Amino acid sequence: MADRLVLLDHLTRGRVIFGAGPGALPSDAYVMGIDPVDQRRMMEESLEVILALFRGDEPVTRETDWFTVREGRLQMRPYTSPHPEVAVAAMVSPSGPRLAGRHGVSLLSLSMSVAEGFAAVGQAWGVVEEMAARHAALAPDRRTWRLLGTVHLAETRDKAVDECTYGLQAFADYFGGGAGFVPLANQVDGDSQTGSTPGTRP
């Protein structure tokens, strides 16, 4: 993975950003044969090795219960100095901000569309700074903090609802609210009830 990222860094001449996250869908973990309980730990262990390869010239040796690296080196140094930007994904819990602070990398807050995620943003950067100070990590630049929320632009509110209706049920069924997306709620309109109209309007 580290070598592929470095290649992409060279191909894009420094325009690549590496985003790291454990994944939020148990179904995705199942497909890859990973116990969802182990997802975050495995992501953190692999990110530590990737950053060690990015940041140092010495061979990297690590051994866990699921991978072994013996005297690992990059085939070539990154195009970007000292290495491409790395951003850790965060949902509602402080796990993402803690990891960003510990390793001195950027933070990507993904759950602005849900109330819990929106509320968590207020504390996120303080956690990053606290962990960076505790681990003597490079202080992340707040300007690299990115927030992500679902937005649809249209000429009017009603047109936005109309444009979002098609395919929205399938989208909600796939994510099921488990990945930080707002699940659809049935909306009563007179005597009819439908599950294809979002309960939370744009």
Q: Could you state, in order of their start, the residue ranges of all structural domains in the chain?
A: 2-147, 157-194
**Tens of pLDDT along 16-36?**
999 999 987 888 899 999 999
**Tens of pLDDT along 171-184?**
777 766 555 455 55
96 three-class SS: helix
- How many Å apart are CA 4 and CA 7, to the nearest integer? 5
pLDDT at position 140, please? 78
CA angle 124, 55, 108 (to 5 degrees): 25
Residue 202: pLDDT band with limits 50, 70, 90: very low
pLDDT at position 199, please? 39
Cis amide leading into 82 (omega within 30): yes
Per mean pLDDT, which of 87-101, 110-124, 156-170 is the most reliable? Answer: 87-101
**Comparison of pLDDT for 187 and 149, the residue scoring more:** 149
Which DSSP symbol is given to 76?
S
End-to-end CA distance of the chain: 38
- How many Å apart are CA 70 and CA 55, to the nearest integer? 17
Architecture of domain 2-147: Alpha-Beta Barrel (3.20)
Which DSSP symbol is given to 181?
P
Q: Which of 200, 20, 22 is nearest to 115 (CA)?
A: 200
Which structure tokens are listed for 43? 């992501």
Q: Average model confidence (pLDDT) for the chain?
A: 85
**Tens of pLDDT along 109-154?**
988 877 788 888 999 999 999 999 999 888 778 999 999 887 889 9
Q: Which residues contact 184 (CB under 8 A, 6 or more apart)?
A: 168, 169, 172, 195, 196, 197, 198, 199
Mean pLDDT lowest among 63-67, 79-83, 134-138: 134-138
